[in-house]
Amino acid sequence: MATDKKIDSDYLLRAALECSEHPSPELIRQVKHSIVEEEDSVRKYPLRRGFSAAVIAVVCVMLVTATAYAAWQFLQPADVAEQVGDNALVAAFNSDSAININQSVRSGDYIFTLLAVVNGQDISDMPHYSNGDLQNDRTYAVLAIENADGTAMSDAYYNDITFFASPLVKGLMPWLVNAATLHGSYSEKVTDGILYRLVQCDNVAVFADRGLYFAVNTGSFFNNEAFVYDETAGTVAVNPDFAGASAVFALPMEAGLADSAKAADMIKNLYPTESEAIPQNQGAEAPALGAPALLQQTGGD
């Protein structure tokens, strides 16, 4: 009798994986929110020894499917570039030189996902000028920001919250060397309840041999209170006591991309002597980003 009722776990797996229906953006947000909320609880309660293998298989399929849903929910970085009408940048994000990251961090009321980064010279149709000088050797990064409770972002978020997002260089004081001081700007748009920010600044790949980060915090400026900078090790980490939301991602780039001569010139222009540097523990904020080279956008399509 028990054999007659045996569940074919292989069949369940095939059936689940063969499903061709795509979930709605709202369902994706709800599923992702549920996974984030329940993840710790699941870890606390190990499965009983006699738990059905078929049930375990179904749970695994649910988790894999939910992960796939999470991947489906985001625009591709090239799509974000297309939304601002930058065909050259679309090609750059579709090229082999683009670095796909796709990592998410939940902090406070938000989930930050760093999608991709690309570096290069003349990879945009929209040249960036600073004080009349063309800045054409650039880094572009795409960041997705979601409400952690699963609700959709909307135009109204501008009235309540702002974000600062920037590459950082290991070993260089982050309040002195960030997108704001590296001729940075950004564009952003809300699509399907997710805020996409396209950040650009001088090409940070010249520092690839030092190590790089990508950081984001609530607020309009780089806020030292959101991060902990170890001046000895040169590392940057989130400050767990920060009242807002913040995240730090490793920004993987091959050391061979580094250019010591260009890096030295950039440091010379940006970095003061030790006696002139702002103490880290004073929570100083970096200057705000200048006027965006790309038009800031919000709202739906």
Please indicate, yes or no, whether residues 217 and 161 belong to a single structural domain of this protein: yes
- Domain membership flag for residue 293: no
Please indicate, yes or no, whether residues 124 and 239 belong to a single structural domain of this protein: yes
Residue type, 54: A
Higher pLDDT, 11 or 212: 212
pLDDT of residue 297: 33
pLDDT of residue 273: 56
- Where residue 268 falls among pLDDT bands split at 50, 70, 90? confident
Please determine, for residue 231, whether its predicted confidence score (pLDDT) is greater than 80: yes
pLDDT digits (tens, 9 = 90+) for 241-256: 999 999 999 999 999 9
Q: Strand order in 137-147's β-sheet?
A: 99-107, 110-121, 137-147, 194-202, 185-191
Residue type, 9: S
- Domain membership flag for residue 265: yes
Please determine, for residue 178, whether its predicted confidence score (pLDDT) is greater than 50: yes
As a whole number of angstroms, the longest Cα–Cα distance in the chain is 83
Q: Which of 41-45, 144-148, 205-209 is predicted with the least confidence, judged by mean pLDDT?
A: 41-45
Please indicate, yes or no, whether residues 56 and 82 belong to a single structural domain of this protein: no
Rounded CA-CA distance 222/216 in Å is 8
Residues 6 or more apart in contact with residue 39 via CB below 8 angstroms: none
Rounded CA-CA distance 190/197 in Å is 9
pTM for the model stands at 0.72
- What is the 3-state composition of the chain as percent helix, strand, coil, each rounded to the nearest 5? 30, 30, 40
pLDDT of residue 90: 98
Higher pLDDT, 132 or 11: 132
Q: Which of 26-35, 52-61, 172-181, 190-199 is predicted with the least confidence, judged by mean pLDDT?
A: 52-61
Q: At what angle do helices 25-44 and 53-72 cross, to 10 degrees?
A: 140
- Domain membership flag for residue 203: yes
Share of the chain above pLDDT 90, in %: 57
- Domain membership flag for residue 38: yes
Please indicate, yes or no, whether residues 61 and 82 belong to a single structural domain of this protein: no
- 3 state DSSP class of 145: strand
Please indicate, yes or no, whether residues 160 and 124 belong to a single structural domain of this protein: yes
Please indicate, yes or no, whether residues 135 and 61 belong to a single structural domain of this protein: no
Please indicate, yes or no, whether residues 65 and 81 belong to a single structural domain of this protein: no
DSSP 18: T
- Where residue 221 falls among pLDDT bands split at 50, 70, 90? very high
Half-sphere exposure of 89 (CA within 13 A, CB side): 30
Please indicate, yes or no, whether residues 162 and 273 belong to a single structural domain of this protein: yes
CB of 227 closer than 8 Å to CB of 174 = yes
Please indicate, yes or no, whether residues 226 and 112 belong to a single structural domain of this protein: yes
CB of 250 closer than 8 Å to CB of 236 = no
Q: Please give the C-alpha separations between residue 259 and each of 96, 204, 207, 208, 262, in angstroms, as whole numbers.
A: 20, 10, 7, 8, 6
Please indicate, yes or no, whether residues 172 and 261 belong to a single structural domain of this protein: yes
The residue segments making up the domain with residue 216 are: 77-282
Rounded CA-CA distance 79/25 in Å is 16
Higher pLDDT, 18 or 109: 109
Q: Which residues does residue 105 pair with via DSSP β-bridges, in sequence order?
A: 112
pLDDT digits (tens, 9 = 90+) for 89-109: 999 999 999 999 999 999 999
- Count structural domains, the chain: 2
